[in-house]
Amino acid sequence: MIKNDTVHLLERLDEILMLKGLKPTKQRSCVYHELLLKKDHPTADELLIRVRKRLPGISLATVYNCLETLVDCALVKQVNVDRSSSRYCPNLTPHAHFRCLKSGKIHDLDLSAEDLDKLQSILPEGFFSENFDLTFSGTSSFN
Amino acid sequence: MIKNDTVHLLERLDEILMLKGLKPTKQRSCVYHELLLKKDHPTADELLIRVRKRLPGISLATVYNCLETLVDCALVKQVNVDRSSSRYCPNLTPHAHFRCLKSGKIHDLDLSAEDLDKLQSILPEGFFSENFDLTFSGTSSFN
DNA sequence: GCATTTGTTTAGAATGATTCCAATTACAAC
DNA sequence: GTTGTAATTGGAATCATTCTAAACAAATGC
């Protein structure tokens, strides 16, 4: 059975950091922990406020640094919608985003293997995609 | 037969502006014209340089204003990839974007009705999309 | 144990894209 | 022609993010 809970993910962070020659600091751990706790899509500012409950002295620059590290470690995805602040998301399963124009909320839409095939099939010859970014906007009944 | 050339599109701009109670100015016309001339995906800066060949006195603020108006008139799409400068695109047919990680170029990928259906089919119940934004990144043999 | 090294965090300054603002300018209607 | 309204302009302001230099912390070698 695959352990997939917060504790396990936090351990995994430390392992990955070590492997990359980076240090497992409490700032990195807390930023990641806070992201895992509430899987909405917070901005760096919002995350700063949450993380400061545990680490009152942490700075915004550090939150940005930690997030950059987490993205480099492929533990977190950076979500950019329009030109507003980047949002960060610990959901690593392939998914699209849906932005509700009424509530402003961003929902994850998990994608099946079939969905992924559909997306791949859109690519014409000569284009090789490593990554994609799919964001719908409209209205959702799940606010 | 549908007239679809630059002249026609420029006339259409003026009509749409009039209908919206906005004025058909030479700045708006030139910015749109320049976008139609070379269908790459210029940023506001790049467009400023091009437009200044005809309208040497135009300011960056005006280029931004004109682009905003064009986007409001649904004649131009604003393309945001990551957090870099917005790019502007006069291609109104439904399409996705492909960013080549080698050349940095952005290619339009035109989408068939079938492709659009595939995208729609990704949406779960309760989500109603008015708009989508699909950007692939990877490598392309068309540089 | 203590000094050294190296990576990390911090606060504040700097940057870059975009928007705002107040003053002109350009038309259009009277 | 004067008046009114919207558009343009240049520069200032804003916002998110990155940079910088100094302080800090943890690991290593002595």
Q: Does the pLDDT of residue A2 top 50, yes or no? A: no
Nucleotide nearest to B62 (CA to C1'): D8
The verdict on A129 touching B (C-beta cutoff 8 Å) is yes
A100 strand-pairing partners: A138
A99-126 pLDDT tens trace: 998 888 899 999 999 999 999 999 999 9
B107 strand-pairing partners: B98
Q: Does the pLDDT of residue A53 top 80, yes or no? A: yes
Q: Does the pLDDT of residue B1 top 50, yes or no? A: no
Provide the CA A67 to C1' D18 distance, Å, integer: 13
The per-residue pLDDT for B5 is 82
Cut 0.85: pTM above it: yes
The per-residue pLDDT for B96 is 96
Average pLDDT value for residue range B41-68: 97
Q: Which of A40, A38, A14 is nearest to A25 (CA)?
A: A14
B49-62 pLDDT tens trace: 999 999 999 999 99
Q: Of chain A residues 3-22, which have a CB less than 8 A from chain B?
A: none
